[in-house]
């Protein structure tokens, strides 16, 4: 049987990967130590997902291992070696803001943890496909220096700008403020590229923006759509940091993202970089997201907008998926922004938050 390793297997992207590849008849090795509860508190714990996976997926094995621990990871690789056909590395410290509170923890998880996995892949499973979940924060605040116009409910890029269709891989990663999170993720990004080019591994680097879906354990510092729903149903105040709430993000559903990964798995490349996101059709500002949620829930959100934005935070970011679509023309976004909101609403009802 083919094996796939999924790190961060209980998180949003990881859990989607576990489900998807299990359906494709893979033996799934999940690595997750629920460190999300350390980052964001018990309410953001992913332990319930781990319990669900153990109960419902017969070909799923869970290891509560910290990816910073090379020796424990090595034991997992030693058991299967060449049977491992794919590694989907989603585990990370994911917050722009949290990284500044513990820089060593952030860097060790995002950079050293990635190096551990790449080196073990090279040593024991060199024919496997390695998928690294990177971030658009590798571009730092460079997108903020584009010509951006203020509209009624959102910021928008000028029509004649070369990035009008979205940010492509041609954007410079240098001479910008990345945040410490952006730096640690960029370190992993470059390592994955280098192991692909230098050691001839099949590595794909996917620079993502806002990933979302009903399984998201959103927190104030990470996962804004999920957290917005939590705030409106628990009657908690929501704080918008800077830019008048008009900052724009594109949102991709975790199902569309994993389908993207599977396309790469079937036809891998060496050290290839792709920007992947929801694109213009799946974009919204924070103010627009609040209005949509208020409309479908028929509830009012208590929120305030503060003047100080997060350091290095994007004013406007929409992804250009053209490069990946050119290389993998069978892939496309299937889940619209409105479907994402409705699915998250149904999940709220299912969990009896309403």
* Burial (Cβ within 10 Å: 0-12, 13-18, ≥19) of residue 246: buried
Q: CA distances (Å), 225 to each of 286, 305, 320, 321, in order? A: 9, 16, 21, 21
At 351, is the pLDDT very low, low, confident or very high (cuts 50, 70, 90)?
Answer: low
| 139 Cβ contact list (under 8 Å, min separation 6) | 167, 171, 172, 173, 176, 207
Alpha helix locations (H) across the chain?
A: 12-23, 36-40, 47-56, 70-80, 103-107, 113-124, 179-197, 224-234, 254-266, 286-297, 322-327, 337-350
pTM of the model: 0.94
Architecture of domain 3-350: 3-Layer(aba) Sandwich (3.40)
C-alpha R_g of the chain: 19
Whether the CB-CB separation of 201 and 118 falls below 8 Å is answered with: yes
Provide the residue count of the chain: 354
Q: 215: how many CB neighbours lie within 10 A of its CB? A: 22
Q: The tokens 């060449």 sit on which residue?
A: 82
Cα separation, 33 vs 106, whole angstroms = 15
- pLDDT tens digits, residue range 228-280? 888 887 788 999 999 999 999 999 999 999 999 999 999 999 999 999 999 99
pLDDT at residue 230, rounded to an integer: 80
Q: The tokens 């619209």 sit on which residue?
A: 336
pLDDT at residue 41, rounded to an integer: 87
Classified as helix, coil or strand, 41 is coil
Q: Residues 11-34: what's their mean pLDDT?
A: 97
Whether the CB-CB separation of 144 and 56 falls below 8 Å is answered with: no
At 218, is the pLDDT very low, low, confident or very high (cuts 50, 70, 90)?
Answer: low
């Amino acid at each position: 049987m083919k094996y796939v390793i999924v790190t961060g297997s209980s998180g949003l992207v990881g859990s989607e990967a576990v489900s998807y590849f299990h359906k494709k008849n893979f033996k799934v090795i999940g690595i997750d130590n629920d460190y999300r509860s350390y980052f964001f508190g018990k309410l953001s714990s992913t332990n319930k997902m781990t319990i669900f996976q153990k109960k419902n997926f017969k070909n799923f094995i869970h290891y509560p291992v910290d990816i910073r621990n090379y020796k424990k990871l090595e034991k997992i690789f030693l058991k299967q070696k060449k049977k491992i056909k794919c590694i989907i590395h989603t585990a990370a410290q994911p917050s722009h803001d949290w990284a500044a509170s513990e820089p060593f923890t952030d860097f060790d998880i995002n950079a050293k943890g990635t190096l551990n996995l790449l080196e073990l892949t090279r040593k024991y499973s060199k024919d496997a496909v390695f998928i690294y979940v990177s971030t658009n924060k590798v571009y730092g605040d460079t997108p903020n220096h584009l010509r951006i116009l203020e509209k009624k409910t959102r910021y928008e890029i000028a029509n004649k700008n070369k990035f009008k269709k979205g940010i492509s891989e041609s954007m410079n990663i240098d001479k910008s403020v990345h945040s410490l999170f952006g730096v640690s993720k960029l370190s992993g990004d470059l390592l994955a590229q280098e192991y692909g080019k230098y050691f001839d591994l099949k590595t794909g680097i996917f620079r993502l923006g806002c990933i979302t879906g009903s399984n998201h354990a959103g927190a104030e510092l990470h996962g804004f759509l999920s957290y917005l729903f939590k705030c409106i149903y628990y009657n908690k105040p929501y704080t918008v940091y800077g830019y008048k709430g008009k900052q724009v993000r594109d949102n991709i559903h975790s199902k569309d993202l994993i389908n993207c990964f599977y396309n790469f798995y079937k036809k891998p490349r060496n050290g290839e970089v792709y920007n992947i996101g929801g694109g213009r059709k799946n974009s919204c500002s924070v103010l627009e997201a609040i209005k949509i949620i208020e409309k479908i829930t028929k509830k009012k959100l208590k929120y305030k907008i503060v003047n100080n934005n997060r350091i290095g935070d994007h004013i406007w970011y929409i992804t250009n998926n053209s490069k990946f679509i050119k290389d993998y023309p069978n892939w496309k976004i299937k889940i619209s922004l409105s479907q994402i909101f409705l699915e998250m609403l149904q999940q709220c009802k299912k969990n009896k938050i309403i």
